[in-house]
């Protein structure tokens, strides 16, 4: 039985380019209210450790500007903000811009930030990773967590990342990988193609959305291939390391 037959789903790994953007936007519109809860349930909270590791590797400093692309509800930006703008509630240089094509996700993140009294140093903008509305060399830091596989043209998004980074700027990408450690693979496949869609159906009311999320991982470039794509976009000193048995990987690079 194929993975698609097992899940009862269409094959999302081979969506036509003309359909992908609209399909992804519709999926995240649907799951936005329960997206963060689903992340906790699906990963057992481990995604929080991965994002903390991403921010630690970023080493943000006061006064730097961070662009968090596909930032959704602002999970990464909110972790980095205390280092970028340590004086809470004070308007200073630096801070973070959360950029996402899905306005509903941004609305949820903005409301949460306001509830925490975060009035300065954090902006929210609906925009496409492939066509960022920022001037060249605008940011010191660029992050994208679990979002690169959702863009239609990965090479275009990477080129935009380089364009908006200043010389000496840092690029970090946290993403799921299509292959994990061999001993984990059978259990990981079972969990991915059966348990995750079921959780999506029960918690978020959308089995198809989480079938897409699983299959988008399997269609994404492997770690070494993604590293070569990052280098081809003009970013340098590209490195990556696997997290939790290769379930996710953290790629880093510089604009020099």
> pLDDT tens digit string along 32-44?
787 788 788 878 8
pLDDT at 3: 42
Phi-psi region of 231 (alpha: psi -120 to 50; beta: other; left: phi over 0): alpha
Question: What's the pLDDT at 19?
Answer: 72
Q: How many domains is the chain partitioned into structurally?
A: 1
pLDDT at residue 66 is higher than 50: yes
pLDDT over threshold 70, residue 110:
yes
pLDDT for residue 137: 98
Helix axes 75-84, 46-58, angle to 10 degrees: 40
Q: How confident is the model at residue 48 (pLDDT cuts 50, 70, 90)?
A: very high
At 18 the pLDDT is 67
87 has a pLDDT exceeding 90: no
Q: Is the separation of the CB atoms in 217 and 246 below 8 Å?
A: no
- Tens of pLDDT, residue by residue over 208-218, are 888 888 888 88
Of the pLDDT bands very low, low, confident and very high (cuts 50, 70, 90), residue 7 is very low
Across 46-66, average pLDDT:
95
Find the range with the poorest average confidence among 78-92, 156-170, 203-217, 225-239.
78-92
Q: Is the model's pLDDT at 134 over the cut of 70?
A: yes
Q: Which residues contact 111 (CB under 8 A, 6 or more apart)?
A: none
- The neighbour count for residue 32, using CB atoms within 10 Å, is 20
Over its C-alpha atoms, the chain yields an Rg (Å, rounded) of 18
Task: Please state the rounded mean pLDDT for residues 120-143.
Answer: 96
Query: What pTM does this model have?
Result: 0.88
Q: What is the CATH number of the domain that holds 183?
A: 3.40.50.150
CB atoms within 10 A of CB 89: 10
Quote the pLDDT of residue 79.
95
Q: How far apart are CA 63 and CA 58, in angstroms?
A: 14
Sheet holding 122-126, edge to edge: 122-126, 95-100, 65-69, 139-145, 165-176, 248-255, 236-243
CA–CA distance, 3 with 155 (Å, rounded to integer): 28
The packing angle between helices 207-218 and 17-31, to 10°, is 130
Domain residues for the domain of 26 are 3-255
Task: Quote the mean pLDDT of the chain.
Answer: 88
Beta strands in the chain (DSSP E): 65-69, 95-100, 122-126, 139-145, 165-176, 236-243, 248-255
179-229 pLDDT tens trace:
888 888 888 888 888 888 888 888 878 888 888 888 888 889 999 999 999
Q: Which two tokens stand for residue 248?
A: 């996710």
């Amino acid at each position: 039985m194929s993975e698609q037959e097992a899940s009862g789903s269409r094959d999302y790994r081979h969506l036509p380019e003309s359909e992908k953007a609209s399909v992804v936007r519709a999926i995240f519109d649907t799951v936005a209210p329960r997206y963060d809860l689903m992340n906790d349930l699906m990963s057992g909270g481990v995604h929080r450790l991965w994002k903390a590791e991403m921010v630690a590797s970023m080493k943000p400093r006061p006064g730097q500007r961070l662009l968090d692309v596909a930032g959704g509800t602002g999970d990464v930006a909110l972790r980095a903000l205390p280092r970028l703008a340590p004086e809470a509630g004070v308007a200073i240089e630096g801070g973070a811009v959360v950029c996402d094509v899905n306005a509903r996700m941004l609305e949820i993140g903005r409301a949460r930030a306001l509830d925490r009294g975060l009035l300065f140093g954090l902006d929210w903008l609906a925009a496409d990773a492939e066509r960022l509305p920022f001037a060249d060399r605008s940011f010191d830091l660029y992050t994208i967590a679990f979002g690169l596989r959702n863009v239609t043209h990965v090479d275009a998004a990477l080129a935009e990342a380089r364009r908006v980074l200043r010389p000496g700027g840092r690029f970090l990408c946290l993403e799921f990988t299509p292959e994990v450690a061999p001993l984990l693979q059978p259990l990981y496949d079972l969990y991915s193609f059966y348990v995750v869609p079921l959780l999506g159906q029960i918690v978020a009311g959308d089995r198809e959305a989480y079938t897409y999320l699983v299959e988008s991982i399997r269609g994404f470039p492997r770690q070494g291939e993604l590293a070569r794509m990052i280098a081809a976009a003009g970013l340098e000193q590209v490195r990556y390391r696997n997290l939790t048995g290769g379930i996710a990987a953290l790629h880093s690079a510089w604009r020099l």
